[in-house]
Copies of this chain bind each other. A is one copy, B any other.
Amino acid sequence: MKAGINFTPGPSQLYFTVEDHIRQAFRDGIPSLSHRTKKFEKIYQHTTNGIKHVLGIPDHFHIVFTSSATEVWERIIQNLVEERSHHFVNGAFSKRFYETALQLNRKPEKTEVPEGEGFKSIENQQTELIALTHNETSTGVMLPLEFIHAFKESHPNALITVDAVSSLPYPRFDFTKIDSLYFSVQKGFGLPAGLGVWILNDACVSKAEQLQSKGISIGSYHSIPSLVSHALKNQTPETPNVLSIYVLGKVVEDMIRRGIDLIRKETDYKAAILYQALQQHELIKPFVQEKTFQSKTVIVAETGSHTGKIKSFLEARGLSPGDGYGKAKASQLRFANFPAHSKETFELLVDTLAAYTG
């Protein structure tokens, strides 16, 4: 495991500096630091400021921590939907968010297309909230930013929420066009799993307060008002994953030093050479056919009856691909293209795939 490169789309390859930061954290007493200290508040502030810097988030957005992006789904429905959310579903994760709304006794609606496809047009939805999945981790479909950014104008009364779990820090969102954005740290940021990050604006706070004033329960410690009132003091409602918040701040600092533009350019380059290799291969092809929707950060290969053999071939050379998701396990392989995957690694991956001839 350690010896090879992990291309699973999360938990994935660790960012280069994670182990060093954890070693330093032990030297500085972070793993046993009380979250009710000034020292913790400084860590919280450093991490959230770093995230704002690297993703270009305006100052008036709040950044709060959950335990996972899965938790964010639940909190969004509890806090931001009285009755009706509208979900754009094209794979397992966007579907699970829709199902979360059902489990919480809302009446969600959906626009659904087959796995591997994107959406053609925006119809006008009568809804409180639009749920978009920027990058569907299960199938490798990435929605164009213009598609996401178009909703605000056509749906001025709906909150626009974006799942960017497996795409950030790559995309450059326009924060005048979205109200809420979230990710988890074990994907593009290359940390061990166990922390979700939720970015939201005051329209979300108002909506939660409005539901609360109607007597609707919006949850307890992780309601938006509870999360945000603590965040304004650089605190958390409960004892959080302090170590992960610390390491995230350090990794973001490293990414800022390296340059987010460079990271984005390298992501484009790595995606381009892998898609080219898949196109040119006689036995493999990209699962997502339409170029517009081909994910830059989770690249899915249709490997058919060669799946097991290609996996072994790669693993023997220190490259661990991710399995296809769910029932596609037998016929697809997934390759994460995160900042922790170097150009050299991708060149090696491309060469190795080309060398596989059945």
Contact = CB atoms under 8 A, between A and B. Distances in A.
Interface of A: 1-2, 6, 8, 10-14, 18-19, 22, 26-36, 66-68, 70-71, 73-74, 77, 99-100, 103-105, 184, 186, 191-195, 215, 217, 219-223, 237-244, 322-323
Contacts of A13: 32
Contacts of A238: 68, 70-71
A238 B137 CA distance: 14
Nearest to A212: B103
Given A194-B240, A244-B194, A217 B28 contact: no
B105 A11 contact: no
Nearest to A13: B32
Which of A36, A192, A221 counts the most chain B CB atoms within 10 A? A192
Copies of this chain in its oligomeric complex: 2
B239 A186 contact: yes
Contact of A104 (B71, B99, B217, B239): B217
Contacts of A240: 68, 193-194
Contacts of A19: 26
B32 A1 contact: yes
A172 B186 CA distance: 37
A73 B220 contact: yes
A331 to B, nearest CB: 17
Contacts of A10: 34, 239
20 contacts: A1-B33, A2-B29, A11-B32, A11-B34, A11-B35, A22-B22, A31-B192, A36-B323, A67-B67, A67-B68, A67-B71, A68-B238, A71-B221, A71-B222, A73-B221, A74-B222, A104-B217, A105-B215, A193-B240, A194-B194
Nearest to A73: B220
A6 B22 contact: no
Nearest to A165: B239
Contacts of A195: 194
A234 to B, nearest CB: 16
A79 to B, nearest CB: 12
B239 A241 contact: no
Contacts of A28: 1-2
Nearest to A242: B193
Contacts of A27: 2
Contacts of A103: 217, 219-220, 223
B8 A29 contact: no
A74 B35 contact: no
B8 A26 contact: no
A33 B6 CA distance: 9
Which of A70, A100, A195, A237 counts the most chain B CB atoms within 10 A? A70
A74 B192 contact: no
B184 A239 contact: yes
Nearest to A10: B239
A70 B2 contact: no
Contact of A68 (B18, B36, B105, B239): B239
Contact of A29 (B6, B67, B100, B217): B6
Contacts of A73: 220-221
A74 B26 CA distance: 32
Contact of A31 (B18, B105, B221): B18
A35 B13 CA distance: 14
Query: What 5 A-B pairs are tightest by C-beta distance, nearest first?
Result: A1-B29, A194-B241, A67-B67, A70-B238, A31-B192
